[in-house]
Structure 1
Amino acid sequence: MARTNRRLTRSARYRSYTGGPDPLAPPVDISEALDAIGEDVMAGASPERAMREFLRRGGVDRTGLDDLARRVAERRRELTSRHNLDGTLRQAKELLDRAVLEERKQLARDVDLDDAERALSEMQLESLPPSVAAAVSELSDYRWHSSQARRDFEAIKDLLGREVLDQRFAGIKEALQNATDADRAAMRTMVDDLAELLAAHRRGEDTRERFEQFMAEHGRFFPDDPTDVEELIDSLAQRAAAAQRMRNSMTQEQRDELDALAQQAFGSPDLMASLGRLDAELRALRPGEDWTGSSRLDGDQGLGLGDGTGVFQDLADLDRLADQLAQSYAGSQLDDLDLDMLARQLGQDAALDVRTLQRLEQALRDSGVLRRSADGQLRLTPKAMRRLGRTLLRDVAERMSGRPGAWDVRRAGSAGEASGASREWAFGDTEPWDVTRTVTNAVVRTAASGGQTAHGVRIEMGDVEVQETEARTQACVALLVDTSFSMALEGRWVPMKRTALALHTLVTSRFRGDDLQLVGFGRYAEVMDIEQLVGLDVGYEKGTNLHHALALANRHFRRNPRAQPVLLVVTDGEPTAHLEADGEVWFDYPPDALTLARTVRELDVSMRLGARTTFFRLGEDPGLARFVDSMARRVEGTVVAPELEDLGVAVVGSYLGARGPRLFGEDEPGPFGGRGFWVG
């Protein structure tokens, strides 16, 4: 006995875990999701919508909801294109034809048969109507001479009885194979008792005891083992509604033929009367089920009544899954997905894909990269902005390091002061080691690999971290970005935001002494923090108010008189608006002479404040080209006309070059007219 118990315990220990999310599953990687969400947010989507769009699209190696929805649609299309609804009629006709053929053979062989009786039998067989139901009805009193023909004919009645029962009770068709008259009688008794139980429940009577008695007597007919009458009704009503949808999908001729044939089920119309009463009770108890729907099935494989009802249940499941996967209703969430239904229709791998997406969504919400604001909206946190900014800055660095004249310096101004940060050592670094971090890395690595640290640790190159330094040069930077509608219309909206975020990340992480101000200008200009700019949606008001933006930049420069002013202007259009003395906006197109004059006047103020100015001209507008060229000559500035994918490279390179020679040296030319290139 002890050996047996040990064997049972050991077998139970390795069963699949079904208590919720797999506690041993590795943590999900949110980096790809965060990058995709950031891109969508910069394109104008809310973080909530961006997250849902990523879950819908999926990742490089991660299935999304759209792919699962496609598989659901393919599964539905497969069911409807493979099957048709005449399976039972076809089977009945085959049995009838075989019975008639066997009877004719017997009549021809039977030499002892009276000629008159033979002639009468042959005449009856010859005059059978083309309708299978009518032919079966006419032959119900026929005296068969062939025992095989009689068995085939009785098989029609048995087939119909099992099919109509299988429509209501899944699996009964096989259970009643070779059933006796007693088995059929027990089945009819169960249907009558069930109808009475449901009628009592519909009247509001307490049916708990009655349900227990019913299950004790007829429970073998219900392998799903319902726990109460409500669960029993749910199961029966779903299948009965599917049977009705199957009937609705048939032609009128098919319905009439099957109705007539069904009266011959088990050789008596009593069964159909009992089933009709049962259907009526189920309709009354579950009016919310789909009793009126239909689907067209136009394949070659005929379905019996029971199998066809199962297919219509599958179609209903697939339709529900399609709605759940669409996530288009108010308050929708991934937890709404019925994973058991999904596994039943698409396999366990589909359910596993959804569980992974659920874990990813929860990880995004728990990671600190998304938060609920006071107005209830989901927003990117500063942590998410820093992470996204580092990714964008890394992309800028990779692009710049491959350009002629660009420097890929992996150290922050070595002649500067320690920034308090450290990073992993790379070949060519000359900064001093961060000893504390280096030793800590070695201890952690040794302990994680099972080694002993009591007698010291061995330092490997991967453990080494170096101190980062930042230059002493201080700059006061104003990045002016055009937020007019044309920027979005021409596909420049996201590159503009990516550029601003990359520059913001560079300044706040490597040049903390610099003061960066972001100004967006459309009809009005506005000082924005990075979260506001990244989440900015497209505006449809006309106007490019560079005059107002320059006025805000000059105010920023005046507040930092000891810093080097750096003015960076990203635009795709000539100034078409300016700010009046009363604060109202004047707009005109083509640009009004007064607008141009006031814009030039503010630019002259920037020059007197010592600003190093760079214009980033987007697009091929000749009017804009003439304007920015003349403005740059006026203030001894620079004009850059980058491709959209190089906008970030151009802005970052110009910022670094404009900070002055103290970091890079006078004779170190950088990209786009700058003085050199630094990247961390």
Structure 2
Amino acid sequence: MTTRGDRHRSRYGKYRGGPDPLAPPVDIGEALDAIGEEVMAGYSPERAMREFLRRGGNDQQGLEDLARRVFAKRQELLKRHNLDGTMNEVRELLDRAVLEERKQLARDVDLDDDERTLSEMQLENLPASTAAAVSELSQYQWKSRQAREDYEKIKDLLGREILDQRFAGMKQAMEGATAQDRAAINEMLGDLNELLEKRNRGEDTPEDFDEFMAKHGDFFPESPRDLDELLDTLAQRSAAAQRMLNSMTPEQRAELMQLSAQAFGSPELAAQLDRLDQNLQAARPGLDWGGSAEFSGEEGLGLGDGTGALQDLAELDELAEQLQQSYAGARMDDVDFDALARQLGDDAAVSARQLAELEKALRNNGYLKRGSDGQYRLSPKAMRQLGKSLLRDVAERISGRQGARDVQRSGAAGEFSGATRPWEFGDTAPWDVTRSVLNAVVRSSGEGGPTMPLRLTIDDVEVVDTEARTQAAVALLVDTSFSMALDGRWVPMKKTALALHQLVRSRFRGDALELIGFGRYAEVMQVEQLTALDAMWAKGTNLHHGLLLANRHFRKHPNAQPVLLIVTDGEPTAHLGSDGEAWFSYPPHPLTLANTVQELENARRLGAQTTIFRLGDDPGLARFVDSLARKVDGAVVAPELDDLGVAVVDSYLGSRDARRGSGGGTRGGAGETPDARRSGGWWGERGFWVE
């Protein structure tokens, strides 16, 4: 009897409806950070993504880890097993049958002496070959019932093993098979061969398959939906059986072929199976019918298990190719997740699915875009995400001290501060309507209760408090000469530009930032262009040309505070001539130095606050940069590479701090952190934040 409680009892089991709905989402941020790093180092986004998928994340197995596990599983199969299992089992049954027969001959006193002698001679002179001995005893008149049963077990074992080679699980299913069962097998094989031969001639119909399954469906528990699906299953197993034969020694192979005739005591079975193999190979010639493997272990495999092991090896080889993703048009969707779960367990399949979801997210969610040349590039969305990450890293590095330029005055149009204040004559700030109405209600309540309609007085009005910041025209000049790439400064330079770009675009939108790369020539660059810029191997550090472009930028924004930030690792070795061509000389020519200094003086006259970030320990560069800073009342910072982004963002944030003071000279030296170099007053009171 079912109780009410029984009807409402919940049952729980493993979720099988697809990907785990409770699995954590893929970490796009970590992937973008890694991909961006590779792109800035000169890799294409496609290759960078492939590299991340290969390597994996902090808590994420990559394709390389999965491929390593696949290889280990393959080696374990080969080193643990050998292919002598069935032969050893047959030899053991044969030895036991012969021993029991000899015992029976010795104790049977009623047996005719001549018959006993003849039987003993037959047993004594059996061939050394197991297959030949089994074949010779096929006509022997057994005196021992136990010996006869053991010999019959040999034929039964061979029949089940040979069937198991083509139909997985048949060894167990046919244990204790009757003559009727064996007849049903022969009938099924005959009908199957006729169906396959019709397919190979192009004469089969869906009705032929339906009729075959209606009659013999019990032999195929996997329930194939059509003949092609049945063909795929049988051909893969048959090809594995052929590879197993190829893996045997010639002696093993010859013995097995000889033993096959004894299977179930029916030579017709071996003939039908040979016919089946030929039909399957004709239907699926593209499978690996000629391969082999070298098993070297001590654990013997039967024919069916050995064929299964060869199938596993083939599946592992396919997985290895899929995980390598080295072929044209490779995608993570190509990986057979079910096969991966079979071979390595569910955890491996989960890891691979997460990588596939990550690849889809990167391609389909707008992080990668295909250019007109067909190549993938980081999209603006990806650049923003990468910039946020870099800026967040910069913020965390500034010793926990966060800040922004000072709030200079309140009450003028600008960004909302979150506060309100009473309206004053001349205010143009927007009203805070909610606060103003509340003031009127409170006032009228004190005068005997609110009246309708509610009347506002000038004393009730409050306006939104705003903070005004002086706009800046910022020029970030980054050295793109070959020495930057040669000495490992290429990626830190790009990270710095991207972090500063993100800060200006997200927090200080009123500022005008221009990125200028200077090598043999200088060029104004978009952040996407600079991020993807390949290393430039042309000689020349044309700071003069870069300063010309920076001053042009400052003149375009006459009402903004000019801020000049220069990142370089070498003295100027080129300048722009009157003909517009770059003039190169190393060591630096006095004319190049004079032109560079002159243009830096022009920047000072425009009011630019200059900071030069000197990379490297070249004494000549240090002397030159220090002299430049003194001439233009600028500053020099000599950061470590890891602190370059911190130093540049730090300088930008403090560039218009009223408490900075004047005077040039050098702040700090190589190896010092920005905080160690700075004095109080560089940070504003309100703090800067990362969106």
The TM-score range, normalised by the shorter chain, is 0.7 to 0.9
The aligned counterpart of 2:94 is 96
Measure, in 1, the Cα distance between the counterparts of 2:339 and 2:416. 52
Deviations 1:287-331 (CA, angstroms, capped at 9, x unpaired)? 111112222222221111111111111122222222222222222
Deviations 1:233-273 (CA, angstroms, capped at 9, x unpaired)? 11111111111111222222221221122222222332222
Measure, in 2, the Cα distance between the counterparts of 1:397 and 1:206. 71
Measure, in 1, the Cα distance between the counterparts of 2:290 and 2:105. 49
Query: Residue 502 in 1 paired to residue 499 in 2?
Result: yes
Measure, in 2, the Cα distance between the counterparts of 1:478 and 1:359. 40
The aligned counterpart of 1:453 is none
Question: Which residue identity lines up with residue 512 of structure 1 in the other structure?
Answer: R
User: 63, 75, 82: which is aligned to 1:77?
Assistant: 75
Deviates more, 1:349-358 or 1:313-322: 349-358
Q: Is the 8 A contact 2:405 2:683 kept in 1?
A: no
Q: Is the 8 A contact 2:405 2:656 kept in 1?
A: no
The aligned counterpart of 1:617 is 614
Measure, in 2, the Cα distance between the counterparts of 1:57 and 1:579. 45
Measure, in 2, the Cα distance between the counterparts of 1:9 and 1:219. 38
Indicate the SS of the match to 1:401.
Answer: coil
1:533-552 superposed matches below 5 A: 533-552=530-549
Tell me the matched-pair count. 636
Indicate the SS of the match to 2:541.
Answer: coil
Deviations 1:550-608 (CA, angstroms, capped at 9, x unpaired)? 22122222323333332221122233333344333344544455444443343343334
* Structure 2: 5+ residue stretches without partners: 420-430, 436-463, 668-673
Give how far 1:374 is off.
4.7
Give how far 1:35 is off.
2.9
Give how far 1:198 is off.
0.7
Q: Percent identity over the alignment?
A: 67
The aligned counterpart of 2:682 is 676
Q: 1:101 to 1:419 in 2, by over 3 A?
A: farther
The aligned counterpart of 1:216 is 214
Query: Residue 531 in 1 paired to residue 528 in 2?
Result: yes
Measure, in 2, the Cα distance between the counterparts of 1:625 and 1:124. 102
Q: Is the 8 A contact 1:242 1:309 kept in 2?
A: yes
Measure, in 1, the Cα distance between the counterparts of 2:109 and 2:590. 120
The aligned counterpart of 2:176 is 178
Measure, in 2, the Cα distance between the counterparts of 1:281 and 1:97. 37
Deviates more, 1:319-328 or 1:191-200: 319-328
Deviations 1:612-665 (CA, angstroms, capped at 9, x unpaired)? 32222212233433432333344343222211111112212223333352x767
Q: 1:204 to 1:381 in 2, by over 3 A?
A: closer
Measure, in 2, the Cα distance between the counterparts of 1:468 and 1:39. 42
Deviations 1:350-396 (CA, angstroms, capped at 9, x unpaired)? 33333333434444455554444455444434444333323322322
Indicate the SS of the match to 2:476.
Answer: strand
1:563-602 superposed matches below 5 A: 563-602=560-599
Give how far 1:125 is off.
2.5
* Structure 1: 5+ residue stretches without partners: 425-433, 439-466
Deviates more, 1:268-277 or 1:47-56: 47-56
Deviations 1:141-186 (CA, angstroms, capped at 9, x unpaired)? 2222222222222222221111111111111111111111221122
Q: 1:70 to 1:549 in 2, by over 3 A?
A: same
Measure, in 2, the Cα distance between the counterparts of 1:50 and 1:412. 41
Indicate the SS of the match to 2:398.
Answer: helix
The aligned counterpart of 1:645 is 642
RMSD of aligned alpha carbons: 3.5
Give how far 1:92 is off.
1.2
The aligned counterpart of 2:407 is 413
Deviates more, 1:276-285 or 1:258-267: 258-267
The aligned counterpart of 2:450 is none
Query: Residue 485 in 1 paired to residue 482 in 2?
Result: yes
Deviates more, 1:47-56 or 1:547-556: 47-56
Give how far 1:137 is off.
2.1
Question: Which residue identity lines up with residue 325 of structure 1 in the other structure?
Answer: L
Measure, in 1, the Cα distance between the counterparts of 2:190 and 2:117. 45
The aligned counterpart of 2:105 is 107
Measure, in 2, the Cα distance between the counterparts of 1:469 and 1:297. 79
Measure, in 1, the Cα distance between the counterparts of 2:120 and 2:520. 97
The aligned counterpart of 1:516 is 513
Deviations 1:335-355 (CA, angstroms, capped at 9, x unpaired)? 222222222222333333333
Q: 1:328 to 1:6 in 2, by over 3 A?
A: farther
Give how far 1:285 is off.
0.9
Question: Which residue identity lines up with residue 683 of structure 2 in the other structure?
Answer: F
Give how far 1:676 is off.
0.4
Measure, in 1, the Cα distance between the counterparts of 2:37 and 2:434. 34
Q: 1:91 to 1:580 in 2, by over 3 A?
A: farther
Give how far 1:507 is off.
2.5
Measure, in 1, the Cα distance between the counterparts of 2:279 and 2:4. 49
Question: Which residue identity lines up with residue 597 of structure 2 in the other structure?
Answer: V
Q: Is the 8 A contact 2:406 2:683 kept in 1?
A: no
Measure, in 1, the Cα distance between the counterparts of 2:189 and 2:417. 78
Measure, in 2, the Cα distance between the counterparts of 1:186 and 1:22. 44
Q: Is the 8 A contact 1:577 1:585 kept in 2?
A: yes
Measure, in 1, the Cα distance between the counterparts of 2:63 and 2:418. 39
The aligned counterpart of 1:286 is 284
Q: Is the 8 A contact 2:403 2:653 kept in 1?
A: no
Deviations 1:401-423 (CA, angstroms, capped at 9, x unpaired)? 35xxxx53378637466754679
Deviations 1:476-522 (CA, angstroms, capped at 9, x unpaired)? 22111112333233222221112112222222333333322111122
Q: Which has the larger radius of gyration?
A: 2
Give how far 1:7 is off.
8.2
Indicate the SS of the match to 1:488.
Answer: helix
Q: 1:227 to 1:390 in 2, by over 3 A?
A: closer
Q: Is the 8 A contact 2:195 2:204 kept in 1?
A: no
Indicate the SS of the match to 2:280.
Answer: helix
Question: Which residue identity lines up with residue 557 of structure 2 in the other structure?
Answer: N
